[in-house]
Chain A
Amino acid sequence: MFSHVLLKVSSDRLWSFSSTASVAARSYSHGKQETDEEFDARWVTYFNKPDIDAWELRKGMNTLIGYDLVPEPKILEAALRACRRLNDLASAIRILEAVKDKSGPHKEIYPYVLQELRPTLSELGIPTPEELGIDKA
């Protein structure tokens, strides 16, 4: 019964972050586990909100980076487009930096993500940190 309450909260659009931030990470012995596809879909929907505001973008991104995973390219694409709607190029570049940092020792993740995002990056005119030279201190 407890798990039902959590699922209901997570499907509600205006969720409070204190409860749903834990849904993805929580593993319970009974009740439905959220699948990877559901997790991705939830986050894509979050960033695709047409009138997303700057706070929600920051909150969403900071929360997502807090999870023990590297976000899927489709979530990142939605986040980059949200940056575009908010006229925030700096945040878009920052998101790419954060993805590279989040991959840690798995050096193959970041090139893959860039490859998947290449069409979006070219369309929106978002430079990669490497192109700007900020990938080296």
Chain B
Amino acid sequence: MLASRALVRGLQSGFWRRVSTSSAAWAAHTHDVDVIDCSVPQYNNRLDTPLPDVPFVRNLSAEQKKLKEKEKGSWTQLTKEEKLALYRLTHELSYAEMRQGSKEWMTVLGGIFIFLGFTGLLVWWQRVYVYGDVPHTLSEESVAQQTQRMIDMRVNPVHGFSHKWDYEKKQWK
């Protein structure tokens, strides 16, 4: 039990986002995205939810606060940059940015092929160094004797093996 707890701690500091409602939750307000406070509404980028529960930027600098004040007036007074800034304060990603894909699939496919190739090398080494000799019945001479015996026995004479042998001419049809 203690070992698993240590494992969780290790993973938390390394990879996982910490989920906490305790004192570490205040860090969420300062945009430290390692900690998510699940007890309050979260910002999210979703195509089916155009207006998320909270704005993306919660703690506004003085300059941003001034811009918000200007927003209360006529929007025709705002410059294009200001309008864009206001949009980015509330939203992290635009719809176009949400929809764009990434090139991650190339990395994944490449990784798959690398590992398949490596496995192939291992299998080849195994074939050469681990497997013993093959039975003598697979030698050419043995196979020829076996084939002759099958012809003599008339194996599958209607549609199969012996059907393909011409017994008059003593050769394959």
Query: Is B truly associated with A?
Result: yes
A94 touches B74 (CB 8 A): no
A90 touches B89 (CB 8 A): yes
Quick one: closest A residue to B68, CB to CB? Answer: A87
Interface residues on B, range: 20 to 34
Chain A residues whose CB sits within 8 angstroms of the CB of B78 once the complex forms: 89, 125
Interface 0/1 of B63-107, CB less than 8 Å to A = 000000001101111101001101101110011110110000000
- Is chain A's binding surface mostly helix, strand, loop or mixed? helix
B50 touches A97 (CB 8 A): yes
Partner of A101, one of B47, B53, B80, B100: B47
Interface 0/1 of B22-56, CB less than 8 Å to A = 00000000000000000000000001111111010
Report how far A95 CA is from B94 CA in the complex, Å: 11
B8 to chain A, nearest CB (A): 35
A16 to chain B, nearest CB (A): 19
B83 touches A98 (CB 8 A): no
Interface 0/1 of B2-27, CB less than 8 Å to A = 00000000000000000000000000
Is the C-beta of A137 less than 8 angstroms from some C-beta in chain B? yes
Interface residues on A, range: 20 to 34
Chain A residues whose CB sits within 8 angstroms of the CB of B95 once the complex forms: 97-98, 100-101, 129, 134
Report how far A94 CA is from B96 CA in the complex, Å: 11
A126 touches B75 (CB 8 A): yes
B51 touches A57 (CB 8 A): yes
B51 touches A135 (CB 8 A): no
Report how far A15 CA is from B17 CA in the complex, Å: 39
Quick one: closest A residue to B89, CB to CB? Answer: A90
Chain A residues whose CB sits within 8 angstroms of the CB of B87 once the complex forms: 89-90, 93-94, 132, 134
Report how far A87 CA is from B71 CA in the complex, Å: 6
Give chain B's interface residues, CB within 8 Å of chain A: 47-53, 55, 71-72, 74-78, 80, 83-84, 86-87, 89-91, 94-97, 99-100
The 7 closest A-B pairs by CB, nearest first: A125-B75, A125-B76, A90-B90, A98-B50, A134-B94, A137-B100, A58-B51
A sample of 6 more A-B contacts (CB under 8 A), given A94-B90, A100-B95, A137-B100, is A89-B86, A90-B90, A97-B50, A131-B80, A133-B84, A134-B84
